[in-house]
Structure 1
Amino acid sequence: MRPILFQIGPIPIYSYGLMMALAFIVADYLLAREFKRLRLNVSYANEMLILALVSGIAGARLLYLIENFSDFLKAPLEMIFSAGGLTWYGGFIAAFIVLLIYVKRRKLPILKVLDAIAPAVALGYGIGRIGCHLSGDGDYGIPTSLPWGTIYANGTLKPTYALRSYFERFPELAEKYNYWEKASKVIGEDRFGIITEFDTFIKLHPTPVYEFLLMVVIFIFLWIYRKRIKFSGELFGLYLILSSIERFFIEFIRLNPPLLLGLSEAQVLSILLFVSGILFLKKLRNVKKPNKNDNAR
């Protein structure tokens, strides 16, 4: 892992920040291109993306603090201003609400705008996941013996800490990987924390890479299908369905603890978004008022 890719003088260039910047640039290009194709004011696309970025980061951090409220009470400033600590669905929901308000105030065709956003969000999210992988920020999968299993010893969140609650839930696996003994042996330290023998030994599913690949596939499908939609809003509905399916199944090999009926928080939210996408498309189909400009080229 390379949390810091390189330095320009005394200034470190973080891999996560660089990939987030790349995601922003790509999303901006795609959104502007779609606005132009749909004959919408391109300047609005730039404004929307900035609003989505700011509100998304705020929402992602807020949900993370809620999830880790006990830790937040112990060190509030450290938690608020830490380099990591962002939860995707919190950012998605916050950005979605802010953009709905913006679109309404600008009197833009909301369904067209949502369709324009869908491919950009899909690819932007995927690129952002590569940043998570390179920085080793804790978005880890469960232990694996597969040849592409990844060692995150240099990550910003060490596996020793990230897997503690996982092994507390599965003591038989803790014994299998000799967790408690290896986690107690400190062999080094970097700017992000202590490195244990366990950190240098355990291989984990690189779930951010899996998500990147899946979201690229979803993006390609949305990008091809966008000129074939039968009614405004269809593309966004498909995005909700496909992205929620992707996240739901990835969660089975991630470290996130169960929240309800053995499902993680992200899986519960994925189910809600999947149902929302189905109902959204069903409602739009019932309207039966295709837009002539849906297939604008």
Structure 2
Amino acid sequence: MLERFELFGLPISTFSLLMMAAFLTAAYLIPKELRRRGLKEEVGDHSLLLAVIGTIIGAKLGYVLEVWGRIWRGPDEFLTKLEYVLFNWHGLRVKYPMDAEYLGLWDTLFSQGGLVFYGGFAMGFLFLYLYLRYKKEPIWSYGDAFIPSMAVGYGIGRLGCIVSGDGCFGYGASVDIPFLTMVYHDGSLQKLTSWFAYKPGGVMGTDGVNVWNTPLMEALLSWALFAWMMLKLRFQGFKPGFMVAVFLVWNGIARFLVEFLRINDALIPVLDHPTYQDGTPIAHHTHSVQHTAAYFENWHWYGFTQSQVFGLIIALAGIIWIVQKKLYVRDTQKS
């Protein structure tokens, strides 16, 4: 793992580099697919730019929602909280500097880390939909052309989570499976020259615990969908929107299943909250502290997370869309 480089004091995260690689891959694939389908390449260029902007904005907003309990918390009255949250970069942490649980709204929005899948997906999708509707272009024909690139790009982005060790991995695994489980290490900044340094390891280590490598699981599932779409599905002549709907179903189910192995708080609790051996509840989203082995060894899935709920929603939406609009019917002239 390699969290980041520093070039002339400027930090360059490996996660950002792989996100860039994901969008560059899409920029290479989309024009080819648009030409094959007889669609306008310039529309694809503008759409990709909007997708980049929408994905980043949505992913950050999704993270804010996920940690909102640490931004808006404490005993203060509503107006006091509102003042600190809106008009202080570090929010209520300014008032309670000794409590590391507090996060600032603006600090969180503009931090280097903190990107949430469902936020980025929803906002990127919305930006594309509104743009294509404004241009009066066939939305779902373009959507089917874009969606394979979204699948491969999402997988590449997940590699960024592995390389940077950003903490979106799972809890302690009871088995050792090559690649699907691994130990994440952290490290300190290594200065090679006066202008170049690098930080081996990840943002968050697992203190020697072998954990579920959930980012790789998602990447492999996403690449499998990409391969199916590129080798088979796009040539079958289904109604416009079919491939988009398949993406919703596949990605929603994949996210729902992988979340059973990931460390995330439950939106809908089913089991007791994970605790340490002394009975103390394990706090999640405390990235300001270095977690010990007990954190990973004692965590377990205890209820449906926000991502699982969102995954089910988009999967069901895709299934209903396919059935209701009969997207599975093929156009024999295109197949």
Alignment TM class, shorter chain as reference:
0.7 to 0.9
2:17 corresponds in structure 1 to: 18
**Residues 1:218 and 1:193: Cα distance change in structure 2 (over 3 Å):** closer
Q: 1:274 aligns with which of 301, 305, 315?
A: 315
SS in 2 for 1:256: coil
Asked if 1:117 is matched to 2:146, the reply is yes
Partner of 1:77: 106
In structure 2, the partner of 1:187 is none
Point out where structure 1 has 5 or more consecutive residues left out of the alignment. 157-189
Q: 1:226 aligns with which of 234, 237, 250?
A: 234
- Would you tell me which structure has more helix in proportion to its own residues? 1
Q: 1:69 to 1:228 in 2, by over 3 A?
A: same
Aligned residue number for residue 169 of structure 1: none
Q: For residue 183 of structure 2, what is the aligned residue in structure 1?
A: 151
Q: CA deviation at 1:192?
A: 10
Q: Which residue identity is paired with 1:146?
A: D
Report the AA paired with residue 226 of structure 2: F
Instruction: State whether residues 60 and 89 of structure 1, in contact with CA within 8 Å, keep that contact through their aligned partners in structure 2.
Output: yes
Distance 1:147 1:288 in 2: 41
**Aligned partner of residue 183 in structure 2, secondary structure:** coil
Q: Is residue 2:326 matched to residue 1:285?
A: yes
1:258 is aligned to: 266
Residue 118 of structure 2 is matched in structure 1 by 89
Quick one: which of 210, 213, 216 aligns to 1:206? Answer: 213
Counterpart of 1:60, as a letter, is: A
> 1:289: Cα distance to partner?
8.4
* 2:169–2:215 CA contact under 8 A, matched in 1: yes
| Distance across 1 between alignment mates of 2:201 and 2:238 | 50
Instruction: Name the amino acid aligned to 2:318.
Output: G
How has the CA–CA distance of structure 1 residues 16 and 114 changed in structure 2, closer, same or farther, with 3 Å as cutoff? same
Asked whether the equivalents of residues 155 and 223 of structure 2 are also in contact (C-alpha less than 8 Å), the reply is yes
**Rounded Cα–Cα distance in structure 1 between residues aligned with 2:133 and 2:105:** 35
CA contact (8 A) 2:187 2:200 kept: no
What is the TM-score with the length of structure 1 in the denominator?
Answer: 0.79
Q: What's the RMSD between the two structures over aligned residues?
A: 2.6
Matches of 1:274 and 1:141, distance apart in 2: 22
- What 5-or-longer segments of structure 2 have no aligned partner? 73-91, 93-103, 189-198, 271-302
Distance verdict in 2 for CA 1:291–1:96, change over 3 Å = farther
Cα deviation for residue 67 of structure 1 reads 1.5
**Structure 1 position 7, deviation (Å):** 4.3
Q: Deviations over 1:87-127 (max 9, x none)?
A: 11111111111111100111111120111121111110000
Partner Cα distance (1:155, 1:273) in 2: 38
Per-residue CA distance 1:239-287 (angstroms, 9 max, x = gap): 1111111111111111112212521111111111111101111122179
Distance 1:248 1:242 in 2: 10
Letter paired with 2:2: R
Provide the residue aligned with 1:162 in structure 2.
none
Indicate the residue corresponding to 2:52 in structure 1: 53
SS of the aligned residue for 2:267 comes to strand
Provide closer, same or farther for how the CA distance between residues 104 and 211 of structure 1 changes in structure 2, counting only shifts above 3 A. Answer: same
Verify the 8 A CA contact 2:54 2:120 in the aligned structure 1.
Answer: yes
Deviation sequence 1:159-179 (CA, Å, 0-9, x none): xxxxxxxxxxxxxxxxxxxxx
Number of aligned residue pairs = 258
TM-score by length of 2: 0.71
Would the aligned equivalents of 1:51 and 1:95 in 2 still touch at CA under 8 Å? yes
Q: Say yes or no: does 1:244 pair with 2:244.
A: no
The answer to whether the Cα contact below 8 Å between 2:242 and 2:328 also exists between their aligned partners in 1 is no
Superposed displacement of residue 230, structure 1 = 2.4
